């Protein structure tokens, strides 16, 4: 396995290893051609079921199709020479993930200021508004899938179990995600849609305020009972009524009563923080759509194979997965691998 994960022959130097789980490993690498630092996720496809192989390929398609300041940026992907190892390169977020920062903050007996929490809330809401506008459900939104760049801006990542829905009123049914962040409708094995991501978003917001998850138990039946009955401790008084109101709306048991991402952004309390984001970096508000705008209808649905292009792809569109056009790409092309999803 270590030989398979050695990317030095493809022009990359490993800086550090981030983690290993199941059939995937992640590491921080430097591209010798241009010096850029990125994260390499190496997925051993031949150890996965056919369904999970398709999920891995779908992640590549989604990452390439999503471009937003608060979504982790896709760089490129390729198969390693003579193997079934898929390598997905994404931008490296120097600040690590939000979960680790929460644990460090809890260990130091301090708390995040409301201004910081609200800035992150605004950034996450923008990211969700964008992906939901592309008809993409994240399905595993949690603190460890939110990454911090060098400026402490948060970026949504890890689209490994995301789903593309065909229509704005579509629902998904597969039980996926991290139990602590599962919505009541997912716990009850009911159909779910955009509002399940909003519930998970509310769990993250709670975690930022309390430095612990709202629902925690080592026993799944107990956890499900807590989630489906809204059993969580109130957040500290140091946070405002405006923040409390947002949290209550997101952690409402009824999916229909939860706000959409654009409704969160249209909240009067959030407006002042949106203005701060715009003043700090006007281009960071890109991808925002007017409140009430329905998700786009041009995104192709489904899981994609390794040939052709996605159904519904506009003529002349860029290939969804390819090696980058630079000197080190020659080695990758020689390995026989340009991955194109359909």
In sequence order, which residues have a C-beta less than 8 Å from that of residue 180 and are 6 or more positions away? 142, 203, 213, 215, 216, 223
Q: How far apart are CA 33 and CA 162, in angstroms?
A: 32
130: tokens are: 């964008």
Coil, strand or helix at 148: strand
25: tokens are: 């490993």
| Options 140, 158, 197, 262, the catalytic residue | 140
Per-residue buried b or exposed e for 248-265, using 16+ beta carbons within 10 Å of the residue's own CB: ebbbbeebeebbbbbbbb
Q: How far apart are CA 317 and CA 340, in angstroms?
A: 12
Say if residue 195 carries a ligand binding annotation.
no
Distance of CA 99 to the CA centre of its chain: 13
**Looking only at Cα atoms, what is the longest distance across the chain?**
61
Coil, strand or helix at 285: helix
Whose CA is closest to 243, among 70, 156, 121, 124? 121
Q: How far apart are CA 201 and CA 181, in angstroms?
A: 8
* Residue that the structure tokens 């030989």 belong to: 3
Q: Is 266 a catalytic residue?
A: no
245: tokens are: 């109101």
In sequence order, which residues have a C-beta less than 8 Å from that of residue 165 and are 6 or more positions away? 135, 136, 137, 171, 172, 193, 301
Binding residues for ATP: 41
Enumerate the active-site residues: 140
């Amino acid at each position: 396995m270590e030989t398979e994960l050695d990317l030095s022959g493809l022009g990359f130097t490993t800086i550090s290893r981030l983690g290993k789980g199941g059939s995937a490993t992640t590491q921080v690498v430097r591209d010798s051609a241009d010096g850029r630092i990125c994260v390499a996720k190496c997925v051993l496809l031949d150890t996965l079921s056919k369904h999970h192989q398709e999920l891995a390929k779908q992640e590549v398609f989604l990452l390439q199709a999503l471009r937003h300041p608060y979504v982790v940026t896709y760089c490129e992907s390729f198969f390693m020479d003579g193997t079934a190892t898929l390598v997905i390169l994404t931008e490296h977020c120097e600040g690590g993930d939000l979960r680790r920062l929460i644990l460090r903050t809890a260990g130091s007996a301090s708390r995040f200021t409301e201004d910081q929490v609200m800035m992150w809330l605004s950034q996450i809401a923008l990211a969700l508004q964008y992906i939901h506008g592309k008809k993409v459900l994240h399905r595993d939104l949690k603190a460890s899938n939110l990454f911090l760049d060098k400026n402490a801006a948060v970026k949504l990542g890890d689209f490994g179990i995301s789903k593309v829905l065909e229509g704005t009123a579509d629902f998904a049914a597969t039980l996926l995600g991290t139990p602590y962040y599962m919505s009541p409708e997912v716990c009850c094995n009911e159909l779910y849609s955009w509002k399940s991501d909003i519930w998970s978003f509310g769990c993250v917001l709670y975690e930022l305020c309390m430095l612990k998850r709202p629902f925690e138990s080592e026993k799944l039946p107990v956890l499900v009972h807590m989630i489906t009955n809204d059993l969580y401790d109130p957040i500290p008084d140091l946070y405002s009524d405006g923040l409390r109101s947002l949290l209550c709306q997101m952690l409402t048991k009824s999916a229909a009563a939860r706000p959409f991402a654009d409704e969160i952004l249209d909240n009067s309390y959030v407006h002042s923080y949106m203005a701060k984001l715009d003043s700090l970096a006007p281009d960071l508000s890109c991808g925002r759509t007017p409140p009430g705008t329905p998700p786009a209808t041009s995104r192709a649905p489904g899981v994609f194979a390794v040939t052709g292009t996605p159904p519904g792809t506009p003529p002349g569109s860029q290939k969804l997965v390819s090696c980058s056009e630079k000197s080190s790409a020659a080695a990758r092309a020689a390995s026989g691998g340009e991955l194109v999803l359909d």
